[in-house]
Structure 1
């Protein structure tokens, strides 16, 4: 597995994205390809030794709650410690924070080894995202006490948004935060509040892997009349540690009133605790008051704005998680197809009965020699390696947005805004389909726990739901991202894709694909205008998911065309097997996948209300 992944990462990082060129920038001046390779080597080794051997263990030995503590298998503790010791929690952070100042694209590539080896163990993304949100919106002391201790591995972090009665509808949350009678001068860690409420579906919400857990909690501050403000405008963000700390980042010995109400038993990702948390229920009374102690982050009423920093980062990371699970299934089914002997090749002529003949006297051949098996392998390769390229491209945009020249940085941030729903949702859907194809290649064996592909599918099924469901991502894309700033983001993406089309037309081998992509881009643009032609959001968004599917396929076709340009620039004769495989995957995507967008865009153009208008009684 790791050899195939490493060669793909090397091509995408160095040949396609030109990651080495980042070292010309002041922030990355201490680095070279040698340091990047050393990071990849370290992560590949840890994933191979501490993660991969225990992927089945954490699936079968689910977290247990004994009434006081969450019990996880020892391998989870060992893997988490190895990850923290590697410095990857702060890989992209400043030297002053103990970080390595790595480009984010290199950090993302290195972390892909852990996702491929065991996503259940390797879900450290929330800790990094939590700390990054505090770095952006917290006070200097909050950054020093909370973010720094998450980056160094002492503490873990979560994001607490959803509630049992609200789900994804954050405007309906009811967790309350009332001032504790202390202002900033009285409590240096920030304006102190008492929180009461319940949070559901909290990943890593309780465990013993670290000495403390830092919860970032969305809650509403009541108005003067004691009532909660309807909608999202009243939502604020709070740091609520599991155990209280002092201004030096040391535990005070007091347990905050954050109680584990129970563990959710999931289809997949079973190695990661998923929890229902009660804040301020009185199980752990603290400092003589009622409610869990929380410290305001940012300004009152701007909690969702602050949390979106973490949510957007998490969405890209979920896209990468879906991608690596898809790749894990692809590698497993490729190995199986190469070694499993079954059937015989179709002969060159048909039998008297009119069907293709097979010579039963000949030995059986490996599965991979059958055309339909190759079809399923190519589909997986095109989905997963395409998604990996997209996610790394988005990570490269993060680096450009942080360190590029002003105009380039601004464009990178805008382009990332448009691509984020695709980077999260497209891999979540189509790398899941890749996992389904991996099971199909295994046949009946794939449906058993004797082979890993069924677990990869179960683990991946979650990714279409968490960090914003498929429908939410689609509404965000069509309802906001492509129309914001007068469509500036969509226009920038079109120009970016257009540059690739122009480059591809210089290669005779790619000219037909370039024309096909140009037509797809035009179709998406026309469908976008048609969806909003009446200005009625109900009509425009009625088919947001088909729109997102077509948009995502167009983006992936662009990625594959850009990759193909790099392949030809590197190896015009296609003498290298890996390059031939990449071109085969690109060809598959253009011949088998991109044509699908016509049906998706048709209902968008027509503002078809078949689904939206059907009366609920008709079901």
Structure 2
């Protein structure tokens, strides 16, 4: 893995020294997969990173055409079995833990997130069908995706209904039944469909949210009436389904990912098969959405991480300026300037903290089926795993441009494209505001069962850190910050329900910083337990501890003011009259 992507020693530390991946899989298998992923990412994904930006998908004759390098890279990805990595052997997979699959995916997202988006969605699509679909549906629609021959999408949003899925208007009319289950005819429009059409897979499996009208033709109100349908581009008998690409959305980033407006049923209705029972659609789709949210977080962390690596390399090579007080003499590398070091430390804290958060949640995915506490904690942390990396990985990319100076704003350097790619992630799979409401509403105020579990784990880390030389102050700071978070939650519970969500986003930022501070301290405790042999290892441990110190001295102090604003129940935003804007 080249220096342009991720720090392999850091990835190994997170997997093995910190998260104990050895309890899930042997070290040799883990190392082999990461080696393979890094090599494939560098050789087949990275080379067309820039071309993805300039040679966008194009609509020709009703079909979307991609640059050939995307298809070649994904064919190699499939050939090596990486679509199948996380599925049980009985389903044609390798049976690898999700933690290892997430680490593998981070390599590809760092190299070329637009191309990596296709397998991320495909794997999540196949997993949903494997979980909720019938045996016949699995064989017909999931297995070809696990083999990497077919790709998958998720079709949720519509032109008039983005985050508000209760307002979807796509209709599904019963159309008999066959060996694949109850069949329906779908009509409607879906917007912002990543991978909605392309020419590099044999087929595309759309998972479509729609509503079944009542006897009077009226659609059910709210989300309870949403059902989920499997709608393939090519039907099992080889005929083209009634799914049409109405247009391409040209986004500022992820330009290699074909983003489509799809029309279902222009000539009578697209054939689809219902998954499970009517009305279960949104509950089922949450499986795919939550996997995609963690995937988006990993991608955001990886893009930010690559920007950090590029900025650090540039800072070591760029000669400019002289130390304070020195006149004349040769210029020094800009990495010697305190402000550049500050920016690099901030990047390091953001990207390594974001990666730690996502991999910690991936570890919970593996243990959740047997450990109810881990399942509850995963549900609580998923909005953070999606949002914190998306916001602060983007901030790291912003800093990377600043470190590059004027060159960072040009297309000659990768950092401006990385920023544009990452700018999409705060809106992918639910905006920051939506995730904030989910965290505060559903996960904390409505169902507070997971919060005490998180409290206990944070307290345990603080207790360990308090006994570790050099980490005592950080342990006390974490305890203080988390107490303030608890007090703010108590105040919100006691306040006016209608106003509780007005400042949910500042709360999410404070809560996210508290969680990432905990994970930084946990990493520092793990690093302190190592017995580094050699200068490189000693430098690595020292860097982990120094970055933890930076986070606690420069980032954790932001928690207090954010919480004070939330606890004040300020209506400064809610009370602003719409006419003032």
C-alpha distance in 2 between matches for 1:14 and 1:167: 40
Residues 530 and 604, structure 1, Cα contact 8 Å, conserved in 2? no
User: Which runs of 5 or more residues in structure 1 are unaligned?
Assistant: 24-31, 246-251, 283-289, 348-357
Residues 103 and 399, structure 1, Cα contact 8 Å, conserved in 2? yes
- Partner residue, 1:325: 303
1:123-202 → structure 2 map (5 Å cutoff):
123=117, 124-180=119-175, 182-183=176-177, 187-202=178-193
CA deviation after TM superposition for structure 1 residue 190, in Å:
1.1
- Partner residue, 2:555: 593
| Partner deviation per Cα, 1:334-353 (whole Å, 9 max, x = no partner) | 11000000000113xxxxxx
C-alpha distance in 1 between matches for 2:525 and 2:2: 25
C-alpha distance in 2 between matches for 1:271 and 1:532: 45
1:372-411 → structure 2 map (5 Å cutoff):
372-402=339-369, 404=370, 409-411=371-373
Residues 186 and 270, structure 2, Cα contact 8 Å, conserved in 1? yes
| Partner deviation per Cα, 1:203-257 (whole Å, 9 max, x = no partner) | 0000011110000000000012110011111110000000001xxxxxx220000
CA deviation after TM superposition for structure 1 residue 86, in Å:
1.6
User: 232, 237, 242: which is aligned to 1:241?
Assistant: 232
- Partner residue, 1:413: 375
Residues 156 and 210, structure 1, Cα contact 8 Å, conserved in 2? yes
1:290-329 → structure 2 map (5 Å cutoff):
290-329=268-307
> Does structure 1 residue 548 correspond to structure 2 residue 550?
no
1:516-527 → structure 2 map (5 Å cutoff):
516-527=477-488
- Partner residue, 1:431: 393
- Partner residue, 1:359: 327
- Partner residue, 1:338: 316
Residues 571 and 579, structure 1, Cα contact 8 Å, conserved in 2? no
- Partner residue, 1:562: 522
C-alpha distance in 2 between matches for 1:372 and 1:467: 35
Runs of 4+ in 1 over 2 A off after TM superposition: 1-5, 571-575
Residues 445 and 493, structure 2, Cα contact 8 Å, conserved in 1? no
CA deviation after TM superposition for structure 1 residue 113, in Å:
0.7
- Partner residue, 2:107: 113
CA deviation after TM superposition for structure 1 residue 535, in Å:
4.3
Residues 421 and 473, structure 1, Cα contact 8 Å, conserved in 2? yes
CA deviation after TM superposition for structure 1 residue 44, in Å:
0.8
Q: Partner of 1:341: helix, strand, or coil?
A: coil
User: 529, 533, 545: which is aligned to 2:494?
Assistant: 533
| Partner deviation per Cα, 1:348-382 (whole Å, 9 max, x = no partner) | xxxxxxxxxx312x100001000000000000000
CA deviation after TM superposition for structure 1 residue 177, in Å:
0.2
- Partner residue, 2:38: 44
User: 444, 452, 459: which is aligned to 2:414?
Assistant: 452
Residues 530 and 606, structure 1, Cα contact 8 Å, conserved in 2? no
Pair member with larger Rg: 1
Q: Partner of 2:159: helix, strand, or coil?
A: coil
C-alpha distance in 2 between matches for 1:164 and 1:601: 36
C-alpha distance in 2 between matches for 1:319 and 1:444: 29
C-alpha distance in 1 between matches for 2:495 and 2:351: 37
1:260-271 → structure 2 map (5 Å cutoff):
260-271=245-256
> Does structure 1 residue 66 correspond to structure 2 residue 60?
yes
- Partner residue, 1:213: 204
User: 437, 447, 452: which is aligned to 1:491?
Assistant: 452
C-alpha distance in 2 between matches for 1:421 and 1:253: 40
C-alpha distance in 2 between matches for 1:36 and 1:513: 32
Residues 531 and 606, structure 1, Cα contact 8 Å, conserved in 2? no
CA deviation after TM superposition for structure 1 residue 18, in Å:
0.8
Residues 445 and 451, structure 1, Cα contact 8 Å, conserved in 2? yes
Moved more, 198-207 or 105-114: 105-114
CA-based RMSD: 1.2
Residues 376 and 450, structure 2, Cα contact 8 Å, conserved in 1? yes
C-alpha distance in 1 between matches for 2:2 and 2:481: 35
C-alpha distance in 1 between matches for 2:430 and 2:463: 35
C-alpha distance in 1 between matches for 2:92 and 2:171: 36
- Partner residue, 1:274: 259
CA deviation after TM superposition for structure 1 residue 534, in Å:
2.5
Residues 86 and 98, structure 2, Cα contact 8 Å, conserved in 1? yes
Residues 189 and 264, structure 2, Cα contact 8 Å, conserved in 1? yes
C-alpha distance in 2 between matches for 1:84 and 1:535: 53
CA deviation after TM superposition for structure 1 residue 428, in Å:
0.4
Residues 63 and 245, structure 2, Cα contact 8 Å, conserved in 1? no
TM-score in terms of structure 1 length: 0.92
C-alpha distance in 2 between matches for 1:43 and 1:504: 34
C-alpha distance in 2 between matches for 1:150 and 1:617: 50
User: 548, 556, 567: which is aligned to 1:605?
Assistant: 567
C-alpha distance in 2 between matches for 1:276 and 1:472: 23
C-alpha distance in 1 between matches for 2:303 and 2:111: 9
CA deviation after TM superposition for structure 1 residue 150, in Å:
0.5
